[in-house]
Structure 1
Amino acid sequence: MSSITFATTAPVTRLRITARGRRVLAALVALPVAGAIAFAAMSGGSALASGQVTTGSTFTTVTVQPGDTLWSIAGEVAPQADPRDVVAEISKLNLIDGGVISVGQHLAVPAQYASAGR
């Protein structure tokens, strides 16, 4: 039995890039980066350009006593207002989630409500 072997080697090709090709490749890489920077620059100032005027909030503090709830505090500091609105404002101002408060905690109460009580 005879065996036939073919000894062929594939020619090695090197990738050559011309000066024009390098410029095109650099432009293709730089284009998304420039687009991202432009997008960030245009959208970065949207909070300032919204036209909303922000003022510093004035508030007073109330110390939570044993047996106090947000509802009872709202009723004491603003008896003329809807307690649901007052509780919502106190919760929002103090970042209270779920209405859980503890004895001795100092709660900020918006000044518009705090003038009447406690």
Structure 2
Amino acid sequence: MRQHPRNPPIRLTRRGRVVLFCLLLVVAGGLFTLVAVPGQAADQPGPAPVVIVQPGDTLWDIATRHAGGRGRDATMEEIRRLNNLDGYSVDAGQRLTLPRQR
């Protein structure tokens, strides 16, 4: 009976190990790039929504109508921030930029 010769173990030279390591880094970097979640999405394209304050409107009323899922208080503070309002009063005819719906 004839014995099959044993396959010698694969031996890598130093250059081979460096090339293999670099290849693994490239593959790992590519996978990381594909699965990485962006920190924040960019604002939606197009103009920001704007409302013109009607007689009798308050910032509270406007925030209540446009709160969506974020809540009235958070919406009111966002309206103040977007329009650089110091207080909570608004005047009829004033144009207010509203936060985008999420």
What's the TM-score once normalised by structure 2's chain length? 0.51
2:62 aligns with 73
Distance 1:106 1:74, change over 3 A: same
Distance 1:108 1:80, change over 3 A: same
Distance 1:79 1:111, change over 3 A: closer
Q: Segments of 4+ in structure 1 off by > 4 A?
A: 52-58
Shift of 1:54: 9.4
2:61 aligned partner, one-letter code: S
Structure 2: distance between partners of 1:84 and 1:53: 23
1:105 aligns with 94
Identity %: 37
Alpha-carbon RMSD across the aligned residues, in angstroms, is 2.5
Shift of 1:106: 0.4
**Gaps (5+ residues) in structure 2?**
1-38
| Count of residue pairs brought into register by the alignment | 62
1:84 aligns with 73
Shift of 1:81: 3.2
2:60 aligned partner, one-letter code: W
**Gaps (5+ residues) in structure 1?**
1-51, 114-118
Structure 2: distance between partners of 1:100 and 1:75: 15
